Structure 1
Amino acid sequence: MTKVSLTHIGGPTVLIEFGGWRLLTDPTFDPPGRTYSFGWGTSSRKLTAPALDATALPAIDAVLLTHVHHGDNLDDAGRALLPTAGTIVTTLSGARTLPHPARGLRPGHSTRLEAPGRPPIDITATPCRHGPPLSRPIVGEVTGFSLTWPGQEHGPLWITGDTVYHRALRRAAAALRPGTVLLHLGGVGFPITGPLRYTMTARQAVRLHEAIKPRTVLPVHYEGWQHFRENRDGVERELAGRSSTLRESLRWLPRGVASDVSV
């Protein structure tokens, strides 16, 4: 069993520490107040500051970047941090567009992080669909990440990335059987696209949990921006009215404070 320290900095940004490794997901460190364009007439304003400033971070061994083209997953301060990271892992298209060397992965493909005196980490890209069917040409390429290393007792650590629930996601998750899930929630929506959702809702999270039954589910990326339609209170209200084992697995990470999780 591995004890992993997780610090939720805000949005999708989490510092993951174990075995001498320091990994950072989707770095977002801009101050609140700015409105970011997401293309095709959509935009959102950042409402909440990060719990930690980028200058307070330790040296980062790798950045796990689910996508490069949305400001709520990679903002200006996050981009400024990238050259200081030892390794960047992202999508194939993202790796081509970044001005820094990066490892680009397609779903199902893997890369390995290795360093003397540390456990090797195998990082496998998992499928994401950041919106309704056939929306990828509009919303762009997004990926999730499954992390495995020696000594895990409960299965891989899975970062879902910005995605709705869909068949390819369910199949990949069933094959992985993750024990711990960093689950991007929030039910993102925009006035211009009405009821369409671009990240997972609580109802979809229930379906995913029933399919794979992970030990621990840690929601991230569900508040702090104008475009989220389900914050923590909304998720909890939805789950309160449902008979689901997800409530037993769900654990809300405090912002800016390290929390230990057994993986």
Structure 2
Amino acid sequence: MRITRIGGPTVLIEWMGWRILTDPTFDAPGRTYSFGLGTSSRKTAGPAIQLDEVGDVDIVLLSHHQHADNLDDAGRAGLSRASTVVTTVAGAKALGHPHARGLESGAKTLMIDSGRPTITVVATPCRHGPPLTRPIVGPATGFALTLEGADRPGLWVTGDTVLYGGLRRAAAGLEPDVAIVNIGAVKFPLTGPLAYTMDAAAAVELIELAAPGIVVPAHVEGWSHFTEQEEAAAAVFAGAPAAVRERIRWLPLGDPVDVM
């Protein structure tokens, strides 16, 4: 599996002949985006690789469509270069992509193509904020991808989520080969200490539960509302138990890395 970290939540995964892109964000930096109810964020860094350099992809795994730090204008336009988009039910309805598949948590869909192994994609739980905020922030989803014939996922993408009971239960014993874990501790001045994504300390607990072979942190830089960015998160991971610390792989931005 080859992974290229592009920036924010955007990662290109090349795996067994499949090209998979997560949460496309390709706008230039400097713009401030509204996130609703008086909240906003400024994009502070552009993508390490431009959309044209990425080219066509087979699958976009879109955790949710309603926030620009997971799908900005250039990313939305670039969905036309994806053969299939897998996202939430609400996202599939909103996007207008001819091959968008919307999944409720726990539902699955098959990626089938002659000459490549079939991939089963299962939607994993996400809660993109404190309890009872879903009507405000909207739905989100993660993704567990398992190759045909395998007994556990080869890839898990957490999506944007806080750590809560439903995620703990889904993660326990999951044991994916590779986990892309979205962190960043998203917060807004208007809502004070309330967090909308995990911080690194929560990610440590999640990693202990899921026991992935390799962990690639993402969604940790490039936006002003990410309150715990890479340096701070790396310090937390450095102090984590060895069973977690030794799994973490900080990938350089823009460079493809063979992780397994």
**Aligned-pair CA distance for 1:83:** 1.6
Which secondary structure state, in structure 1, belongs to the residue aligned with residue 166 of structure 2? helix
Give the direction of change, closer, same or farther, for the CA distance of 1:148–1:133 in structure 2 (3 Å limit): same
- RMSD over aligned Cα atoms: 1.5
Aligned equivalent of 1:214: 212
TM-score (norm 1): 0.94
Q: Secondary structure at the match of 1:108?
A: coil
Amino acid at match of 1:231: Q
| 1:102-113 mapped onto 2 (5 Å cutoff) | 102-113=100-111
Which letter does structure 1 place at the counterpart of 2:182?
Answer: H
Map of 1:161 onto structure 2: 159
- Paired position in structure 1 for 2:63: 66
CA–CA separation in structure 1 for the residues paired with 2:240 and 2:59: 38
Q: In the TM superposition, what are the counterparts of 1:127-142 in structure 2 within 5 Å?
A: 127-142=125-140
Please report how far the alpha carbon of residue 135 of structure 1 lies from its aligned counterpart in structure 2 after TM superposition: 1.0
The number of residues matched between the two structures is: 259
Cα pair distance change 1:18/1:156, threshold 3 Å: closer
**Which residue does the alignment assign to 1:233?**
231
CA distance in 1, matches of 2:197, 2:141: 13
| Native 8 Å contact 1:154 1:215 kept in 2 | no
CA shift, 1:154, in A, is 7.0
- What is the distance in 2 between the residues matched to 1:245 and 1:231? 22
Question: For residues 120-160 of structure 1, what are the alpha-carbon distances to aligned partners after superposition, in whole Å with 9 as ceiling and x for unaligned?
Answer: 11111011001111111111000000011036587431000
The CA deviation at 1:175 is 5.2
Residue 243 of structure 1, CA deviation: 3.8
d(CA) in 1 for partners of 2:41, 2:229: 15
Q: Structure 1 residues 76, 150: CA separation in 2 closer, same or farther (over 3 Å shift)?
A: same
SS of residue paired to 1:177: coil
Where in structure 1 are there 5+ consecutive unaligned residues? none
Whether the 8 Å contact between 2:183 and 2:217 is mirrored in structure 1 is yes
The answer to whether the 8 A contact 1:91-1:105 is kept is yes
1:113-132 matches, cutoff 5 A: 113-132=111-130
Structure 2: tracts of 5 or more residues without a match: none
User: Partner letter of residue 254 of structure 1?
Assistant: P
User: Is contact 2:239-2:245 (8 Å) kept?
Assistant: no
The corresponding residue for 1:224 is 222
Structure-to-structure mapping, 1:176-187, within 5 angstroms: 176-187=174-185
- Please say if 1:77 is aligned against 2:77: no
Q: Distance in 2 between matches of 1:261 and 1:153?
A: 20
